Amino acid sequence: MIDQTSQFFAILTNVGAAKLANANALGVPWKLTEMGLGDANGTDPIPSAAQTSLINEWRRRPLNQLFIDPVNPAVIVAEQVIPADEGGRWIREIALYDADGDLVAVANCPPSFKPIMSQGSGRTQVVRMNIIVSSTGNITLKIDPSVVLATRDFVERRIQEELYKLDNKQSVRVATTANIALTGLQTIDGVSLLAGDRVLVKNQATSKDNGIYIVGVAAWQRAPDADSNAEVTSAMILSVEQGATLADTRWQLVTDGAIVLGTTSLTFQNITQGFATINSPALVNPTANTPPQFDNTKALATSEFVKRMGLEYGDYTNYAATATLTAADIGKVAAFAGAGAMTATLPTGPLIPRGAVVKILCGMGTVTVTAAAGDSVDAVNYVGNINMAQGDTAEFIRIGSLWRLIGGSVSLKYSALMSGSNWVTQPQFDNTRSIATTEFVQREKGSFASSAGISGGNVALTAAHVGTRIEMSANGTLTLPKSSTLPKGSSILITTSSAVDAAKLALLAGDTLAINNVSVPSPYTMSMGSDILLVSDGEKWRAHASLECLRSSPLFAALFGANGHQVLPSGWIFKIGHASTDTASGTVPVTFPVAFPTACMYVGAMYAGASAAPNPSLCQCSQPTRTGFTGFMTSVTSNSSAVTVGGYNWLAIGY
């Protein structure tokens, strides 16, 4: 019976001890592969070295983990995970098997019932066996990852192991500045350390002892992320948090090649100050000697040198009279302003390099720019002095002993573009920054570029007809160009003479013609003596501001027939109709086919019945409304209703 005096332990079996001794003696690997679990038939088992099997084994599976205890290197830890859907049995005895299937270690454990999910309670259970051996050197610590489950502890430990191998390490509190004793609490770089602080040790007299350490009351230990060869590699980097001299610095391990911790010398380099940070004194307000004017070596260029070379104008010098410029004026603006004519002589001398530039401004009066003796001045297609008027600018570049005009407003005088009728008309519909000729402007402006007559027949219009007034002098069909192939806003004006009653407009497949924003059938027939202005919106042809638009405009809406109406642009509306009288009473109500929008102001009627009425009759009406009125007959002599067969025509006016 299990009680407080019970003992639980694991031992190698006789077979296991013999195999371990053989592996150590011969130096051959010994592979442990499986773990078995048993319930010992409900007894309290005591492990025996003579065992070759468990008392009652109910489960055997591959190991989940097999590793050396990090605290005690003489202990091997074997682990197996039992998933939640296996069990329903007690665990009292544990066995460890090798690759040959031999029982090599056996252990007992406190009875533990492993439930399964169908019992209403399930769990994933981890079973470990710790075995003390004389040597672990020849035991193969390897498992098959395809047949085991991973515990959370295993996963976290593996993740931590991989993180520890990264070159970027967790920061340290301080870094050493001199050789120290790696023991006890102490003050480093002005910081009093506490147990557990991380320290970069980099100045040891024996540099193999350098590295990352954890402060302890007694001996310091290397940090867990830098205590193995795999975790300490060349280019390892870490930051220092505090310190009187090394706070906020970064350090890199610059020892190259394979590193054996505790044997290889470790050297750390400050990659913060060592690589000149942006707040380094060397980069705060630096100065240097300005190289000579026109220097083109690899010397450092100061701001003074750059400004003098003309990347910006070095200065602005005023001259009130004729002057000879010198090398000091190169890269500057020489501004001449005087009451009369002045002469500016450009700099000369062998030290002036090719590419040197002088800018001259004529602020008042006139300036003649000339060259010194032995030099010359020219412009494109011109040799000789350059004459400048008030407001002109001129830029000259040095080419050997020649000063050539290359810029400024005065250079336009010598440009072929300005010297004659050499402008090039850009293609139709061009919308770039090219200069526009009068031809281009006339073609593109609101005025039509031309007018053409077409004397009937079937004619297909093209892009060349855009911007043209076309007059149809005989019946025929004009097919419009595809609207989607033209720029938006392309327009064509088409007119018909008074004798043309069958001028038609046809469309290419997929095109539409809209008049007053309403699509019309194609081909569309124009009226005699009419016109239509067609504008492409890039998708369809639209009619604008033309007589054809008035035909279907609501401002001129009309209804034809015995009962009809006509709308005028002013808003007045005229309606006509015919009504037959009631033979019983001589009256009849009239409802307008289309009601007046606001009111009916007048209704008049005229008898239109039998040729001989019983009595002379007149047509009279009741007070009209916007929707209709009532008409009736009256006798001329008695002013009473006269029953008359027939009807009358009426006219109504309103708005």
Among 180-194, 460-474, 614-628, the minimum mean pLDDT is found in: 614-628
Most confident stretch, 200-204, 378-382, 570-574, 575-579: 200-204
Radius of gyration of the chain (CA): 55
Considering the domain architecture, whether residues 226 and 155 belong to the same structural domain is answered as: no
Considering the domain architecture, whether residues 250 and 226 belong to the same structural domain is answered as: yes
Considering the domain architecture, whether residues 445 and 409 belong to the same structural domain is answered as: no
- Give whole-number Cα distances, 191 to 173, 179, 238, 246, in Å: 9, 16, 18, 11
Burial of 617-652, coded b for 16+ CB within 10 Å and e otherwise, reads: bebbbeebeeebbbbbbbbeeeeebbebeebbebeb
* The pLDDT of residue 616: 45
How many other C-beta atoms are found inside a 10 Å radius of the C-beta of residue 354?
10
In a domain, 476, yes or no: yes
Confidence class for position 619, pLDDT limits 50, 70, 90: low
In a domain, 435, yes or no: no
Confidence class for position 559, pLDDT limits 50, 70, 90: confident
Compute the C-alpha angle 458/461/463, nearest 5°. 170
Check residues 482 and 154 and name the one with the higher pLDDT. 482
In this predicted structure, the answer to whether residue 109 has a pLDDT above a threshold of 90 is yes
Write the pLDDT tens digit of every residue in 24-50: 888 888 899 999 999 999 999 999 999
In this predicted structure, the answer to whether residue 72 has a pLDDT above a threshold of 60 is yes
In a domain, 436, yes or no: no
Considering the domain architecture, whether residues 47 and 142 belong to the same structural domain is answered as: yes
Domain interval for residue 566: 559-654
CATH code of residue 531: 2.60.120
* The pLDDT of residue 363: 93
Question: What mean pLDDT is predicted for residues 242-262?
Answer: 93
Q: Which of 130, 162, 194 is the last residue of a domain?
A: 162
In this predicted structure, the answer to whether residue 112 has a pLDDT above a threshold of 70 is yes
Considering the domain architecture, whether residues 224 and 278 belong to the same structural domain is answered as: yes
* The pLDDT of residue 84: 86
Considering the domain architecture, whether residues 156 and 28 belong to the same structural domain is answered as: yes
For residue 518 the two structure tokens come to 């309403």
Q: Among residues of the chain, what percentage have pLDDT more than 90?
A: 49
The whole model's pTM is what?
0.33
* The pLDDT of residue 498: 84
Considering the domain architecture, whether residues 138 and 22 belong to the same structural domain is answered as: yes
* The pLDDT of residue 99: 93
Question: What mean pLDDT is predicted for residues 438-461?
Answer: 78
Give the separation between CA 269 and CA 324, rounded to whole angstroms. Answer: 61
Tokens 């906020």: give the residue. 248
In this predicted structure, the answer to whether residue 338 has a pLDDT above a threshold of 80 is yes
Confidence class for position 337, pLDDT limits 50, 70, 90: very high
* The pLDDT of residue 640: 54
Most confident stretch, 17-26, 137-146, 290-299, 383-392: 383-392
Write the pLDDT tens digit of every residue in 399-444: 999 999 999 999 888 877 665 555 567 777 777 777 777 777 766 6
Give the separation between CA 111 and CA 163, rounded to whole angstroms. Answer: 38
* The pLDDT of residue 144: 47
* The pLDDT of residue 147: 45
* The pLDDT of residue 432: 78
Q: Which of 510, 528, 550 is the last residue of a domain?
A: 550
Closest C-alpha to 68, from 11, 19, 139: 139
* The pLDDT of residue 55: 96
Considering the domain architecture, whether residues 16 and 138 belong to the same structural domain is answered as: yes
Q: Among residues of the chain, what percentage have pLDDT more than 70?
A: 85
Considering the domain architecture, whether residues 273 and 181 belong to the same structural domain is answered as: yes
In a domain, 424, yes or no: no
Most confident stretch, 76-80, 141-145, 396-400, 559-563: 396-400
In this predicted structure, the answer to whether residue 307 has a pLDDT above a threshold of 50 is yes
Task: Give the chain's mean pLDDT.
Answer: 85
* The pLDDT of residue 631: 76
In a domain, 456, yes or no: yes
Q: Is 338 exposed, middle or buried (0-12, 13-18, 19+ CB in 10 A)?
A: middle
Distance in Å from the first CA to the final CA of the chain: 116
In this predicted structure, the answer to whether residue 15 has a pLDDT above a threshold of 90 is yes
Considering the domain architecture, whether residues 358 and 328 belong to the same structural domain is answered as: yes
* The pLDDT of residue 445: 59
* The pLDDT of residue 146: 47
For residue 40 the two structure tokens come to 């010992």
* The pLDDT of residue 300: 83
CATH code of residue 564: 2.60.40.3940
Query: What is the residue type of 25?
Result: A
In a domain, 3, yes or no: no
Tokens 């910081």: give the residue. 191
Check residues 561 and 248 and name the one with the higher pLDDT. 248
Phi first, then psi, for residue 327 (nearest 5°) are -60, -25
Phi first, then psi, for residue 398 (nearest 5°) are -85, 130
Most confident stretch, 303-317, 378-392, 613-627: 378-392
For residue 242 the two structure tokens come to 């505090």
Is cis: bond before 73, omega within 30 of 0?
A: no
Closest C-alpha to 92, from 53, 43, 132, 34: 43
Check residues 161 and 86 and name the one with the higher pLDDT. 86
Question: What mean pLDDT is predicted for residues 599-610?
Answer: 78
Question: What mean pLDDT is predicted for residues 210-222?
Answer: 96
Query: What is the residue type of 450?
Result: S
Write the pLDDT tens digit of every residue in 565-602: 888 888 899 999 887 766 666 677 888 888 999 999 99
Share in percent of the chain as helix, strand, coil (round to 5)? 10, 35, 50
* The pLDDT of residue 582: 63
Q: Which of 526, 550, 574 is the last residue of a domain?
A: 550
In this predicted structure, the answer to whether residue 163 has a pLDDT above a threshold of 80 is no
In this predicted structure, the answer to whether residue 56 has a pLDDT above a threshold of 70 is yes
Considering the domain architecture, whether residues 29 and 142 belong to the same structural domain is answered as: yes
* The pLDDT of residue 121: 82
Question: What mean pLDDT is predicted for residues 62-86?
Answer: 87
Considering the domain architecture, whether residues 233 and 323 belong to the same structural domain is answered as: no
In this predicted structure, the answer to whether residue 282 has a pLDDT above a threshold of 60 is no
In this predicted structure, the answer to whether residue 148 has a pLDDT above a threshold of 80 is no
Confidence class for position 156, pLDDT limits 50, 70, 90: low
* The pLDDT of residue 159: 64
In a domain, 4, yes or no: no
In this predicted structure, the answer to whether residue 470 has a pLDDT above a threshold of 70 is yes
Number of domains in the chain: 5
* The pLDDT of residue 595: 92
In a domain, 426, yes or no: no
* The pLDDT of residue 268: 94
DSSP for residue 22: H
